[in-house]
Each structure stands twice: as C-alpha cells, then as structure tokens.
Amino acid sequence: MNTIKSLAVITLVMVLAVFTACKKEDPETDQQRNTRLISKTWRVNTVTLDPQEDYSLSGETVTVTFNSNGSYTINTPAALPKMRTPNEAIPASGSWQFVGSAYDRVRLTSGSTTLELAITSLTDNALTVTYPGAEPKATDEVTVTVNMVPNS
C-alpha cells in the first residue's frame, strides 16, 4: 500500500514538473517578425516607375543588405532611380529603422540624408518597396517600386 502511494506521489510530482517546465514562448511581435524577415541580403529583381517610364538596371546586379543591428548597405546604389528629395542616388550605407506602428515603412538614414521606403510586401521570399523618385530628370516625379528576392 505504501508502495502504491509512493508511486502515485512520484507520478504526480513528475507530471507537475513536466507541465510547469513546458512554458510556452511569447508570440513574436510584428516588429520582431518584420525584423527577422527583412534582415538578409536581397537582390533587386525589377524596378518599375509610375507614371510609366522605361527603366533598366543596365545589367547591374544590385543587392541591398538589411542587418539586424540596424545598418544597411547597397552595393550599386547609382543603378537605382534617384530619390526625389534630395535629387541624388540613395546612399550606399547607413542605418535603417521601422517607422510607424504597423512596421510597414523603413527609414534609411545616412548623415543628413533620409529616405522612407513603404513596404508593400515582405515575406521570406520577396520584398517590395516603393519610394518617391525623380527619373529621368530631377523635375520628373515618379513612384519607384523595387521588387527584391533573397540573394543566393
């Protein structure tokens, strides 16, 4: 009888230990999810302008790297359409951060230059951003859409 009680107590203690040791992890926040998804090297697949203008990367392979520490680099920024304000190429490196509570915009900062990118799609396999551009002349206001895939 004592053996049965001892086994019952040991079993109960083991069951309680298992249930209390198995703590569920906190769910990933939107910011954590988007940081995880964006933090990699992306290859620019296509660039489109609205209103429609012909735009070609001229055979360049453009990569954009967003690091989880908040830094970014672009290997060939001159191949991308210029920013509208100031009318110059996107800086080759700097810092990035999400803007807004929906984490659907990214601000690139390099010195006194900032550019805000609107994220229209972000998955493990695709990143699409838009920004205000000026192509082919500084007075030509366009919306630039950049479609990227993971660089392999």
Per-residue pLDDT tens for 93-106? 999 999 988 999 99
List pLDDT tens digits, range 71-99. 999 999 999 999 988 888 999 999 999 99
* Joined tokens for residue 140: 């030509």
pTM of the model: 0.81
CATH of domain 29-150: 2.40.128.540
* Joined tokens for residue 48: 């489109």
* Joined tokens for residue 123: 């998955």
Contacts of 42 (CB under 8 A, 6+ apart): 63, 64, 65, 66, 127, 148, 149, 150, 151
Q: Domains of the chain: which residue ranges? A: 29-150
Q: Which residue has the tokens 């109960």?
A: 12
